[in-house]
Amino acid sequence: MTATRTPGLPVVEDGLLISTSPATGAEAGRVPVADLAAVAAAMRRARIAAAWWAGLGFDERKVRLLRWRALLAERVEELAALTHLETGKPEADAIVEALAAIEHTDWAARNAKRVLGPRRVKSRLVVAEHAGHLEYQPYGVVGVIGPWNYPILTPLGPIGGALAAGNAVVFKPSEYTPAVGQWLVDTFAEIVPEQPVLQAVHGLGDVGALLCRSGVNKLAFTGSTATAKKVMAACAETLTPVIIEAGGKDALIVDADADVAAAAEAAVWGSMTNAGQTCIGIERAYAVASVYDAFVAAVVEKAGKLKVGEEIGPITMPGQIDIIRRHIDDALAAGGRAVLGGAEAVQPPHVSPTVLVDVPETSSAIREETFGPTLTITKVADADEAVAKANALPYGLGGAVFGKANGIRIARRLRAGMVAVNSTLTFVGVATLPFGGVGDSGFGRIHGEDGLREFGRAKAITVRRGPSLLPAMTFERTPAQVQRIVKTLKLLYARRP
Ligand code: NDP
């Protein structure tokens, strides 16, 4: 039976989900597949765990989360080896991924109390007798659905935020990376054995759909735009709020005054790391005419040196190969040229670095998420044309700008949730900054203060501390008091600026 398995393609046998290495076909892990009853049971346990976890308070949770963070750091090689086995990505890339995840977990643990904890809020003159109190209370149970391409970092963003905010989490890892997902859950249970505060439910997409309908109080989804729509539709049935982190087609702009060598280095990293299977991967570059030739030459030179099978791992999801091949073929058929790689670059399970030029903006290689080690480079007259082209797609996740005088100005104009100036992808590792997209790339934020606030409901409390000067909200107000309200209102607000 094992001999007929496609490397990397997960199978379900005897109620177990078995994942395999896309490079070798070696088994990566096996976990039980959840059904409706199992998801419901996980939810019942999670409700009890959520009450216990919330009751611990910020300080106790912080200690436990920092202990977990320490465990993740201590055993990072083990986690990276498992991630390498299950996704095919180089271990060094898995270490970098884990570093970012650990960074976010640490920051969320340390800052949750400050960002979400109870605080006094100044009230205004007309209600001066009431003190304002604000706090962000946990939702209860948060569902997290994650993809396979960054199986440590993408779930740990929402999981870390949700846990720090005081929620329990039920996590559905991608069917391609259940072993990494289970490892995260098991290590958390080593640190927090009292209650199943973080649980996993495994299976194919239908288990994700079950989780959407399970009664979770909020759901954080990371995956494709198409699945995001299904998730939202399922969550709409119960008015369950969602965060959507979906796909992208991120652009890099190289302005006339850019450091071309640095731009090329970053473009190659941004487009080829993780074999291009990166939601915020650079898939399109727009270089102004004066630097175009030098930029193309530098990218080709650097990308051509990458070693397939070492720096460029296999394509994790076997089905993705067909999409990458179609995009390359489409680009070439429409008049594009491969200045590196090309149709013959697709040698399953690997795709070698491919750089395409002269590709029409209507081509699927420009318009659709490729998720492979490919990059299109387009010549533009100036930064304005680059911005217009970069912004022309429904996606709006991340992006990058290389340039000196106008880098930040151009970054502001990009229709994207995050932009790196003079680097690529770096915003994902900055724990103090929010992460998330616009348009087809989703909404809601993970990471940073905005990310923490997604996992707490704002709770407003007023406390009366004296008699009302302007007793507006009572049937017992007198006509004279109403006159006083009118006078005050006009004094405060009738003056036009
Ligand atoms: P999918 O959308 O195919 O799957 C994402 C998750 O949803 C998986 O766990 C999947 O389970 C599950 N799922 C599938 N069908 C349903 C359903 N009907 N209801 C609920 N859950 C379901 O995405 P991929 O795993 O292929 O991930 C790649 C995509 O993720 C790319 O588009 C990429 O850009 C995006 N992404 C976005 C990021 C961001 O932060 N914006 C970060 C990383 C990736 P199963 O795997 O078992 O089918």
Q: What is the mean pLDDT of each run of 10 residues along the chain (497 residues)?
A: 74 95 94 98 98 98 98 98 97 96 98 98 91 97 97 98 98 98 98 98 96 97 97 96 98 98 98 97 98 98 97 93 98 98 96 98 98 98 98 98 98 98 97 98 98 98 92 92 95 96
Helix, strand, coil tally for the chain in percent (to 5): 45, 20, 35
The identity of residue 41, as a single letter, is: A
Task: Give the residue whose CA is nearest to atom 48 of ligand 1.
Answer: 205
Q: Which residue has the tokens 């495994």?
A: 202
Task: Give the residue whose CA is nearest to atom 38 of ligand 1.
Answer: 279
- Give me the pLDDT at residue 394, please: 98
Residues, the chain, total? 497
State the angle between helix axes of 205-212 and 36-74 in degrees (0 to 180), rounded to the nearest 10.
100
Q: Which residues contact 494 (CB under 8 A, 6 or more apart)?
A: none
Could you tell me if 341 and 377 are in contact, meaning their C-beta atoms sit under 8 angstroms apart?
no
208 CB-contact burial (10 Å; exposed 0-12 / middle 13-18 / buried 19+): buried
Pocket test for ligand 1, best of 18, 31, 33, 174 (most atoms within 8 A of CB): 174
- Whole-angstrom distance, CA of residue 123 vs CA of residue 136: 18
DSSP 352: -
- Give me the pLDDT at residue 4, please: 65
Task: Give the residue whose CA is nearest to atom 23 of ligand 1.
Answer: 223
Task: Give the residue whose CA is nearest to atom 28 of ligand 1.
Answer: 223
How many Å lie between the centroid of ligand 1 and the Cα of residue 52?
A: 30
Q: Which residues contact 122 (CB under 8 A, 6 or more apart)?
A: 132
Model confidence pTM above 0.85: yes
Could you tell me if 312 and 350 are in contact, meaning their C-beta atoms sit under 8 angstroms apart?
yes
Reading the block at residue 40, the tokens are 């419901």
DSSP 34: P
Q: Which phi and psi angles does 62 have, rounded to 5°?
A: -55, -45
Residues annotated as catalytic are: 245, 279
- Give me the pLDDT at residue 1, please: 44
Reading the block at residue 218, the tokens are 């909020």
Pairing of strands 141-145, 218-222: parallel
Any residues with Cβ below 6 Å from ligand 1, and which? 145-150, 154, 172, 174-176, 204-205, 208-209, 212, 222-224, 227, 230-231, 245-248, 279, 369, 397, 437, 442
Pocket test for ligand 1, best of 9, 153, 175, 279 (most atoms within 8 A of CB): 279
- Nearest Cα neighbor of 93 from 323, 276, 283 is 276
Task: Give the residue whose CA is nearest to atom 30 of ligand 1.
Answer: 223
- Give me the pLDDT at residue 5, please: 80
Closest atom of ligand 1 to 228 CA is 2
Task: Evaluate the omega torsion of the peptide bond into residue 90 and state whether it is cis, within 30 degrees of 0.
Answer: no
With b meaning 16 or more CB within 10 Å and e meaning fewer, what string describes 302-321? bbeebebeebbbbbbbbebb
Q: Which phi and psi angles does 250 have, rounded to 5°?
A: -70, 145
- Whole-angstrom distance, CA of residue 191 vs CA of residue 200: 16
- Give me the pLDDT at residue 2, please: 46
Per-residue pLDDT tens digits for 169-183 = 999 999 999 999 999
Closest atom of ligand 1 to 211 CA is 20
How many Å lie between the centroid of ligand 1 and the Cα of residue 172?
A: 10
